[in-house]
């Protein structure tokens, strides 16, 4: 079920000065800035993929073929900050917004939505991506990102910098530095 990023984060969990400090690159040296920035982006992508969570505040839309057969619907990608809307394609083919008074959303890690007492999941048209949940996920500031995650990212950035001939542009491949997965494992979204 696809997830679309509507509003990307405005900051990264690790910024250029932090990465350069970790790599022991003088802050006035700019020759490697593009490479280090690409390594930050690559490390972010790898960490978000491994943990199945978005690190910093962003708005996403999760497309589903149906609601769920369960009592509640678990929202993926980590800490849910707000549910902006729950929309669905009604049986008559119209895109309909589910009234917020008819469901409850929990704002935690992970977040859930479910019909309020006396309500049920809306009846939808049987077609792909008939349900669309727009919500906000991630920590607000880079200082809110747990130290284990930041440490793992710095290890990946350092590994990519030291072994850049073994890397493909935009990705971190090969052996992951020792300890990275151990640092991230407690933060994997269930």
Q: Is the pLDDT confidence value at 180 over 70?
A: yes
Please state the rounded mean pLDDT for residues 138-152: 96
Q: How much is the pLDDT for 168?
A: 53
pLDDT digits (tens, 9 = 90+) for 100-141: 999 999 999 989 999 999 999 999 999 999 999 999 999 999
pLDDT digits (tens, 9 = 90+) for 46-85: 999 999 999 999 999 999 999 998 999 999 999 999 999 9
d(CA 22, CA 67): 45
- 8 Å CB contact between 89 and 127: yes
pLDDT digits (tens, 9 = 90+) for 23-41: 999 988 899 999 999 999 9
Three-state secondary-structure class, residue 19: helix
pTM, full prediction: 0.87
Where are the domains positioned within the chain? Answer: 13-55+142-187, 58-137
Q: How far is CA 127 from the centre of its chain?
A: 26
Q: Is the pLDDT confidence value at 190 over 90?
A: no
Q: How much is the pLDDT for 164?
A: 76
Architecture per CATH, domain 13-55+142-187, reads as Orthogonal Bundle (1.10)
């Amino acid at each position: 079920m696809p997830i679309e990023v509507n509003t990307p984060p405005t900051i990264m969990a690790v910024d250029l000065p932090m990465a350069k400090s970790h790599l022991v690159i003088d802050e006035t040296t700019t020759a490697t800035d593009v490479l280090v920035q690409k390594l930050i982006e690559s490390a972010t992508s790898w960490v978000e993929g491994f943990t199945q969570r978005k690190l910093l505040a962003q708005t996403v839309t999760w497309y589903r073929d149906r609601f769920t057969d369960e009592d509640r619907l678990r929202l993926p990608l980590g800490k849910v900050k707000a549910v902006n809307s729950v929309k669905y394609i009604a049986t008559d083919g119209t895109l309909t917004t589910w009234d917020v008074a008819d469901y409850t959303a929990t704002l935690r890690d992970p977040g859930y939505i479910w019909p309020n007492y006396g309500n049920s999941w809306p009846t939808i048209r049987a077609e792909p991506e008939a349900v669309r949940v727009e919500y906000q996920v991630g920590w607000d500031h880079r200082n809110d990102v747990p130290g284990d995650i930041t440490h793992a990212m710095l290890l990946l950035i350092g590994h990519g910098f030291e072994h850049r001939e073994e890397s493909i542009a935009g990705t971190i491949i090969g052996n992951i530095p020792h300890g990275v997965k151990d640092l991230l494992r407690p933060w994997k979204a269930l």
